[in-house]
Structure 1
Amino acid sequence: MSYREAFRSLPVTGDLTNNAAPQYPEGSLKKQSTLSFADTLFPVATIAHWILASRQVLDDEPALQGFVDLQMREGLQEKIDREVLTGDGQPGNLTGLLTAGTALDGVVGDNRLDTVLIAVATLQAQGAQRVVVGLNPMDIIAMATMKDASGAYLMNPLVPLSGVLGASFTAASSIPRGSYVAAATPQGAYTALRQDVTLEVSREDADNFRRNMVTLLTECRMALVIANPELVLHGSFVAPATASAKSK
């Protein structure tokens, strides 16, 4: 599962004033809550790339056509993930989670797992129902292989972080090693798709017909909505001050 897919959700925004309460006595007027919306614009970005390939290659080897399709989609997905995480918000780009979120770095004396647990708990304390945490694969391995003073693993290295505070964890190479992103979805952030990933093949491009070439275009149109920056946390890990537990 990619980091973008982890944030795909229904487009829900706005601040709720929650006045839910028991109805008493029977027949009395029930409590009214209010939901206010702010006019905030989030850019819709078109992310795409294309290649040229010979018609003969695609016709002669179906497996190669599938390989090219996979490479094009994975290449696009990699760029989408980078935009979702680190987009700078400039014209044509998304405003990424690391750009618009709230910084919450680890503190001296805490290890990687401590920092992640504090981030998840901080979001849950603010009412987050679903928390997604993105980590660099190397940091996941570092946490999975943490040991106590006797050399025993602190968690099952085959299923690291499974069930930790009910959060979902996903590996993302786009996240710099030594840092994390944690967000409530959809209260904090979600992606709004205008066009899912598509792959189109055309011979009607430039002189393709005369050269027996085809153009393969893969693209996606989407927006990243940061509904509440305080529910999107990111930060760096701080190395432990003591060596009571090995975290590297």
Structure 2
Amino acid sequence: MGNLPHVRPVGRRKDGRPIYPIKGGAPTLLEQRDEIIALLQDPNYDGDVAELMQRADTVAAAIEQAQQRDARLRQLQGAMPPGDPQPQPNQRQQPGMQPDANGNQHPLTVAEQFVRAEALRMFRANGCVGKFAVDFDHRAAPSGTVTTGTMLPQNNRQPGIIPNNPDFPLLIANLLDRQTSDGNTLEYMRDTSGPQSSWNNAAVVAEGADKPKSGPFTFDLITTTLKTVAHWVPITRQAADDDGQLMGYINGRLTYGLEYKLDREILTGNGTTQMQGILTTAGIGAYQPPSGNTDSKLITVRKAKTQGELALYPPDAIVMNPLDWQDIELDTDANGQFRVITTVTDSGAPLRIWGLTVVTSVAMTAGTALLGGFRMGATLWERQGVTILMTDSHADFFLANTLVVLAERRANVAVHTPAAFVKITFAALP
């Protein structure tokens, strides 16, 4: 084909002679890229592999440089220094702007923007049915509203978004049997028969003799309603639209707030204006070391477990304050060895003591604990799980371009077997 110094060869024959493009002209970057890709994929290629790899690097660098050049060109074309002449008539005008008699652009009034809005045209075309929105400048948002300034958006933020749900420990709610309610009113029978010794008269009976009668079995019909737990936070529409990370964080914290409150309601709800708490239910057992007894908290829990077993409701878990659990984990023998934990590095293991699952919660008052057969003794009835809602239909938030993010859930606790629970009161430390 002859020597063409201005044309780069696209390959070489087995005898070393260069192969030039058939068209006779310099190949484009895409043609060079495709040629190199084909050669790299060819398992029978027996040319100079090192030279081929060098060409691949050169073409890749040239393509990247061309892309950067194109990006700079578009960036420069969109730049407009102060005092620069107005755009040509065939250039697109900025939204919300119109030229005056001299060709200078000035902002449209609110009325002009409304009349010219595409949303208004579509609204009229649809027979003026429904509603539409036109973006204007609004008044300042209410005090305390979350704005884009709360957490400024960052380009290419690393290492990623904040997780939506905090990594909190096992919830007290997870200890209970959980069921779904179909309505708002909750009715259930509460067993108030008391210890088995008061109603169980079963006995060996001689042939022909009368059989003993057991009882009485006593129940209370409990009628209550599901309670709504909710909270909300205001956030500007811009923050909700522009910052997905902030929005995810808010949703996660609102959800965590409901779970946090549910834990406390299960323990201490008053049963009237609040959910029914286990600790406020009449008929639960109680254990406290005798006066003058200095049993450690570790021993006290074991004796309270026996009391629950004697009531024929084997305990499966215990809820205690973190300070009390700390005392139990730090309990040592005469040789200074920990009694409960075998190694302090095993912090990720499930918490257990005397075969019981341990849940630590600040909702439990320090110096006390709740032990029981949670699944046997109570049921958490839920009408709905956690629901996240968003709207601008609150007060005058629509005028402030502000949204409400609301999180709520509806639930209540049916403590149908109070005798399955034992409240523990630890002895005061000397």
TM-score (structure 2 length as normaliser): 0.47
State the match for 2:427 in structure 1: 238
Change over 3 Å in CA distance of 1:43–1:69 after alignment to 2: same
Change over 3 Å in CA distance of 1:178–1:36 after alignment to 2: closer
State the match for 2:322 in structure 1: 137
1:124 aligns with 2:309: yes
- CA distance in 2: counterparts of 1:8 and 1:62, whole angstroms: 36
Q: Aligned match of 1:164 in 350, 353, 373?
A: 353
8 Å Cα contact 1:144-1:161 kept in structure 2: no
Q: Aligned match of 1:149 in 303, 328, 334?
A: 334
CA RMSD of aligned residues (A): 2.8
Change over 3 Å in CA distance of 1:106–1:53 after alignment to 2: farther
- CA distance in 2: counterparts of 1:150 and 1:86, whole angstroms: 40
Structure with more relative contact order (C-alpha pairs < 8 Å, separation 6 or more): 1
State the match for 2:174 in structure 1: 5
State the match for 1:61 in structure 2: 243
* Pairing 1:203-214 to 2, within 5 Å after superposition: 203-214=392-403
* Pairing 1:86-97 to 2, within 5 Å after superposition: 86-90=268-272, 92-97=273-278
Q: By how many angstroms is 1:130 displaced? A: 5.6
TM-score (structure 1 length as normaliser): 0.79
- CA distance in 2: counterparts of 1:106 and 1:216, whole angstroms: 49
- CA distance in 2: counterparts of 1:215 and 1:42, whole angstroms: 30
Paired amino acid for 1:72: L
Aligned positions, number = 224
8 Å Cα contact 1:51-1:216 kept in structure 2: yes
- CA distance in 1: counterparts of 2:279 and 2:232, whole angstroms: 28
* Pairing 1:104-115 to 2, within 5 Å after superposition: 104-107=287-290, 108-115=293-300
1:178 aligns with 2:361: no
State the match for 2:128 in structure 1: none
Change over 3 Å in CA distance of 1:74–1:10 after alignment to 2: closer
- CA distance in 2: counterparts of 1:234 and 1:184, whole angstroms: 12
Paired amino acid for 2:399: R
Q: By how many angstroms is 1:154 displaced? A: 1.1
Q: By how many angstroms is 1:212 displaced? A: 1.5
For residues 99-149 of structure 1, the C-alpha deviation after alignment (integer angstroms, 9 at most, x for no partner) is: 113322234221111122222232234333562211111211211111112
- CA distance in 2: counterparts of 1:196 and 1:36, whole angstroms: 34
For residues 171-217 of structure 1, the C-alpha deviation after alignment (integer angstroms, 9 at most, x for no partner) is: 11110111101121332122111121211111222222221111111
Q: By how many angstroms is 1:87 displaced? A: 1.1
Tell me the percent identity. 25
State the match for 1:197 in structure 2: 386
Q: By how many angstroms is 1:163 displaced? A: 4.7
- Flag as ranges the 4+ runs of structure 1 deviating above 6 A: 11-18
State the match for 1:32 in structure 2: none
Q: Aligned match of 1:103 in 256, 270, 286?
A: 286
SS in 2 for 1:109: coil
Paired amino acid for 1:59: D
**Structure 1 spans left out of the alignment, 5+ residues:** 19-34, 242-248
SS in 2 for 1:239: coil
1:78 aligns with 2:260: yes
SS in 1 for 2:255: helix
Q: Aligned match of 1:220 in 386, 390, 409?
A: 409
Structure with the largest fraction of strand: 1
For residues 3-57 of structure 1, the C-alpha deviation after alignment (integer angstroms, 9 at most, x for no partner) is: 1222243599676999xxxxxxxxxxxxxxxx99752224421111112111211
